[in-house]
Structure 1
Amino acid sequence: MAAGAAVPVISAREDLPADLTSASSEPPSLFDGTTRLYVAYHCPYAQRVWIARNCKGLQGKIKIVALDLVDRPAWYKDKVYPENKVPALEHNKQVKGESLNLLKYIDDNFDGAELLPHDSAKKMFAEELLAYSDSFNASAFFSCLRSKGDVTDEAVAAVDKIEAALGKFSDGPFFLGHFSLVDIAYVPFIERLEISYSGIKNYDIIGGRPNLGRFIEEVNKINAYTQTKLDTQVTLDIIKEKFGIP
């Protein structure tokens, strides 16, 4: 499929495995030729790579292994990924981590829809946005939710920057016009911002931000993404627990 083409629609919901816990005494048969993506269903970093896998139609080639991060199996750190984090990808007798690196790795090393365009201006902007993503997450999500009271000025500025970025190209509602790896990197956090700002800060993230509103509307039409979402209330409860919010 050519770069910039529509993401393939996945009509059937995948039958996902249950979380593995410390009581799951045996690890998978490592390095047996099976490609495995280790995730936690509620983790936005793991969600990034899960979405990319779905977008490229790799459900039959990359097996999901879900972990309970509160009660994760000891074998995961000892035998699979010493960093003991998700996501991690087991492929070609190696285990790799870090979500942004894995997005590019999956796009470069597996068949399916290309997740970055060939246009040089869009590729350059993609790299700028990917480099900014950690700063955005820190300002708009982590720092804001750790603060008391209203949404911080720093968070508002970060979200406004995303609103402006979404208006750079006019050939579609996404960061590079058409849905791409950049959208995959940002959407798990935008999803959580919309939920937490509304449910905790009483703040409408799309108010006065038409580009962001259109982005959220259109991305929720992409099955490769929506199949990775948890129930809104479940996500809000997880966020509240993480940040100690009653």
Structure 2
Amino acid sequence: MATVGVQEARTPPLTSTSEPPSLFDGTTRLYISYVCPFAQRAWITRNYKGLQEKIKLVPIDLGNRPAWYKEKVYPENKVPSLEHNGKVIGESLDLIKYIDANFEGPSVVPTDPAKREFGEQLVSQVDSVTKDLYAALKGDAIQQANPVFDSLENALGKFDDGPFFLGQFSWVDIAYVPFIERFQLVFAEVFKHDITEGRPKLRAFIEEGNKIDGYTQTRADPKELVDIYKRRFLPQQQ
């Protein structure tokens, strides 16, 4: 189940003073930020499929991003984006499926119709789930977030052939895990609350996910993630 690989050395992110790479020279490049959960989705997909040699990782400093990125690579000026076959594709959920369909390696989309249907349903809900969790941070965090985490616990019980949303690791887990990772950290550090308490399926999801190299290779420093969330969402905590 786990894709075994050597931990990549993380090169410094490109900044406003960095020269652009040789754009559109046939190299496939995945532009990311090391701390962006959306970019992490595409990064996990790349790693899980064993594409470290096929897709070059290009980290961008989102706080001091190079002008050429917007001008020459991706007018949306956000990450992730994928430079492939002379074009640039964006949007993290689309990129999971694009990388899966256009490159070799284990597929993250199951063939079972029931799993595919439930997977599409869960992925269609991920934005509203994360929006509700972000909103909870600004209110009575634990009380407001509990129903959201309960819904994840219920969804994880749909299939019993593995600990993930569709049983086995899939594009649904890739869509959710960067945010579950961050909210677990923030709730533990800031609110002294364990989001897996009373939720054995969510606990198993996190524990088994942490055994998948393709995911763990993309994790950011926990302290950095908590600090980012404090600055952006919890000014009263400063």
Does the pair score TM above 0.5? yes
Bucket of the pairwise TM-score, normalised by the shorter protein = over 0.9
Aligned-partner Cα distance in 2 for 1:7–1:116: 15
Shift of 1:149: 4.1
Deviations 1:57-80 (A, max 9, x none): 000000000011010001111111
Q: Report 1:191-210 matches (<5 A).
A: 191-210=181-200
Matched, 1:151 2:146: no
Q: Helix, strand or coil: the match of 1:151?
A: helix
Shift of 1:17: 1.6
Change (3 A) 1:150 1:134: closer
Aligned to 1:3: none
The answer (yes or no) to whether the contact 1:7–1:113 under 8 Å persists in 2 is no
Aligned to 2:95: 102
Gaps of 5+ in 2: none
Report % sequence identity.
56
Of the candidates 176, 179, 185, which is equivalent to residue 169 of structure 2? 179
Shift of 1:148: 3.8
The answer (yes or no) to whether the contact 1:37–1:63 under 8 Å persists in 2 is yes
The answer (yes or no) to whether the contact 1:7–1:179 under 8 Å persists in 2 is no
Q: Helix, strand or coil: the match of 1:96?
A: strand
Aligned to 2:211: 221
Aligned to 1:92: 85
Aligned residue pairs, count: 236
Aligned-partner Cα distance in 2 for 1:159–1:110: 33
Shift of 1:99: 0.2
Q: Helix, strand or coil: the match of 1:131?
A: helix
The answer (yes or no) to whether the contact 1:219–1:225 under 8 Å persists in 2 is yes
Gaps of 5+ in 1: 1-5
The answer (yes or no) to whether the contact 1:16–1:64 under 8 Å persists in 2 is no
Segment of structure 1 superposing worse, 198-207 or 83-92: 198-207
Shift of 1:196: 0.6
Q: Report 1:58-137 matches (<5 A).
A: 58-137=51-130
Aligned to 2:10: 16
TM-score, with length taken from structure 1: 0.93
Aligned-residue CA RMSD in angstroms?
A: 1.1
Partner AA of 1:19 in structure 2: P
Deviations 1:179-202 (A, max 9, x none): 111111100000001001111222
Aligned to 1:242: 232
The answer (yes or no) to whether the contact 2:2–2:211 under 8 Å persists in 1 is no
